[in-house]
Amino acid sequence: MPRFQHPDSALLTQSHTDETSGSARHIVDVLIAERGKHVMAAPWWPLFRPIAYRMLRYFDALEMADAISNLPAEEVFVYLSNLLQVKLTVEGLDRIPAEGPCILVSNHPTGIADGVALYDAVKSRRRDISIFANRDAVRVNPRLADMIVPVEWRAGFKTREKTRETLKNAASAFERNRAVVLFPSGRLAYMKDGKLTERPWMTSALALARRHQVPVIPIHMGARNSRLFYFLAKVSIELRDMTVFNELLNKKGAHFRFHVGEPLAPGQLDGDLAEVTNKLRIHCAETLAQDPDARFSL
């Protein structure tokens, strides 16, 4: 993937242009504001803000964003890996092809930390990974485009051009024989009746596997967010989403479990795109959690 070097990337996090207002603000302020538009417009917000910023680990987030703002892509992952020092249990790592294009699909329990933990889990096998991730990552550091396939999450900013760009970047990754990582839910798992529940998957991973004729490696990731996150999810979606940096930084020393399933050739994934995608979701989120050696079946 060609590297895009922002001309002022060293200053990017200190002075970032808000795409909605045109004003220069720290990227952390911009990202929090985009997630909490109504909350921050409420008359009680100025009084609540000091408490909220402590809860959000706002100043820690500023420090982290500034530290990674001009690092090369893999050094960002190394920095975050050293910062979090997550504990890993990985079963079936040798099921990931040591070389050649492939797609790694996983459930999505916690957020940004999932990508960091997965990088840690597979780096001894594959360092040449490209991760489908929120476009916000390259807004923090454009050099992350070397390892990230940016996906636009903001409804008002989605365009056909950005979709084409995403597909072009994915094709480039496959052409360069990289391992492409997708979290097909595109959203974090939620708590239902005391159980962490994976959201429905988009069909993009399976569609890419068929188009580029590459194997799919199913992965179960075991982890969860804080009680605060799940409490706020019941109170306000915006307050929940504003915890994005806290839910990364509070994973320091957290335990992530990975069960890597048997690789699936494109021919093993024939059938209705939506139906096969849903079965793959269940396989990753539930079946592999119980039995790492379980075989996928249609």
Per-residue pLDDT at 13? 42
What crossing angle do the helices spanning 58-68 and 45-55 adopt, rounded to 10°?
60
CA distances from 24 to 34, 181, 270 (A): 14, 33, 49
CA distances from 205 to 159, 184, 223, 250 (A): 20, 6, 22, 29
CA distances from 66 to 5, 49, 77, 140 (A): 16, 22, 14, 9
Per-residue pLDDT at 19? 53
- What CATH number corresponds to the domain at position 172? 3.40.1130
Residue 276 belongs to some domain of the structure = yes
Give the DSSP per-residue string, 208-270: HHHHHT--EEEEEEE----HHHHHHHHH-HHHHHTTTTHHHHTTTT-EEEEEE---B-GGGG-
pLDDT tens-digit profile of 20-32?
A: 545 679 999 999 9
Residue 242 belongs to some domain of the structure = yes
Q: Residues 217, 104: contact at Cβ < 8 Å?
A: yes
Q: Which residues of the chain have pLDDT under 70?
A: 1-23, 154-155
> What is the span of the domain harbouring residue 274?
73-290
Residue 38 belongs to some domain of the structure = no
Per-residue pLDDT at 5? 32
Residue 236 belongs to some domain of the structure = yes
Residue 9 belongs to some domain of the structure = no
Residue 191 belongs to some domain of the structure = yes
Residue 154 belongs to some domain of the structure = yes
Residue 175 belongs to some domain of the structure = yes
Per-residue pLDDT at 156? 74
| Overall number of domains in the chain | 1
pTM for this model (two decimals): 0.89
